[in-house]
Amino acid sequence: MKSAAMAPIVMAHIFPSFAYGGQQARFAALAGGLGRGFTHHIIALDGDRAARALISADVSVTFHDFKARKSSLASIRNIIGFQRFLKSINPDILCTYNWGAMEAVLANRLGVGAPNIHFEDGFGAQEDPARQKTRRVWARRFWLGKSVVVTPSVRLENLAIDIWKLKRERVIRIPNGVDFERFQVTPTRLNRYIVVGSIGALRSEKNYLRLITAFLKADLEHKAKLIIVGEGPERGSLAAAIKQAGASDRISLPGATQTPEQYYSNFDAYAVSSDTEQAPLTLMEAMAAGLPVASTNVGDVAAIVAAENRAFITPLGDDNAFALALTHLIQNSDARSTLGAANRRKAKKEYDAAKMIERHRVLYLSMARLK
């Protein structure tokens, strides 16, 4: 074990992408909270480093270029490249993120041997958690055998143990957390319209088309507006759908943000329309901001929101129920107030960023190798 009083702990991080997202926002919070006892070296495999803006200037962080070759499972060229990178910085800990970084896990096992923490936060549109690709299951089962796997949700924790067959003692669930005080925003509530909001990457698994369709059904009287904050590959198709519906004056796509709290202060209700989630950080932020939530029942969402709010977490695939949940929140100010207050209380009690940071710090210090 390496002492925090010694030289800074060197951490290598392999992200499939460092675009704006919950995983990247959590890293920024952790890096800032861990302080100067840690230095960070980051590779974003798709070259997107947009979320770098979220990292405090006080954090010691270096981004490295890496040209990855696309492969169906593992590329020898990529493995050799990862080994060269890891040997060049000699990390005390290697952190890998989701399936996209699994080649780095293998490269490390085949020669570098740094302690590996693998973070699994969820799945993209191409990987259904209920129907895992067999080769990916087996790859995770064997490649992650000597890693510690960290998940934010109960469902992912169970998946890692029951389906990937990883040893229970090597799977750790650390719930996400948010800076509660940061999201104690002063509601503007000066809107002429009720505002439904959502924040997230514009990717297919977020299914914002479902949200747009449900919103249009829920707001037949044109009393509300919908704001979807984020950036991503689905922007073009979403903008086209909004235009085709003749709703450009009611639905907006303002892009990514470094200050989500400013948007929460203008929202009256929050929506999650995803086909797959686990423990969304933005959901916890919205709760901390005192917002009621309508969501598809994915991942741990139903367990995350306050008990009073669970009736508005609707079965995945029942888009009529999702639209009805939005309708109720748009039309009922008392429900918005009651549910929002309950969510705020739960966020304060259970989703504290300080607890999250401390649990990560303890894990890192326990794993950092002596040089």
pLDDT at 185: 77
Least confident of 69-78, 82-91, 147-156, 292-301: 69-78
- The three-state secondary structure class of 203 is coil
Q: Domains along the chain?
A: 9-177+353-367 (3.40.50.2000), 180-350 (3.40.50.2000)
Residue-wise pLDDT tens digits, 214-270: 999 999 999 999 999 999 999 999 999 999 999 999 999 999 998 999 999 999 999
Q: Which of the four pLDDT bands, split at 50, 70 and 90, describes residue 2?
A: low
pLDDT at 4: 46
Residue-wise pLDDT tens digits, 278-302: 899 999 999 999 999 999 999 899 9
- pLDDT at 351 exceeding the cut of 90: yes
- The DSSP code for 178 is B
Q: How many CA atoms lie within 13 A of 322 on its CB side?
A: 25
pLDDT at 127: 59
State how far the Cα of 81 lies from the Cα of 346, in Å rounded to an integer. Answer: 45
- pLDDT at 43 exceeding the cut of 50: yes
Contact (CB, 8 A) for 280 and 229: no
pLDDT at 186: 74
Mean pLDDT (the chain, rounded) = 92
Which residues make Cβ contacts (< 8 Å) with residue 128, sequence separation at least 6?
276
- pLDDT at 44 exceeding the cut of 70: yes
- pLDDT at 34 exceeding the cut of 60: yes
pLDDT at 124: 66
Distances (CA, A) of 124 to 121, 132, 248, 275: 10, 12, 28, 9
Which pTM does this prediction carry? 0.86
Of 212, 183, 182, 220, whose CA–CA distance to 196 is shortest? 212
Rg from Cα positions in the chain = 21
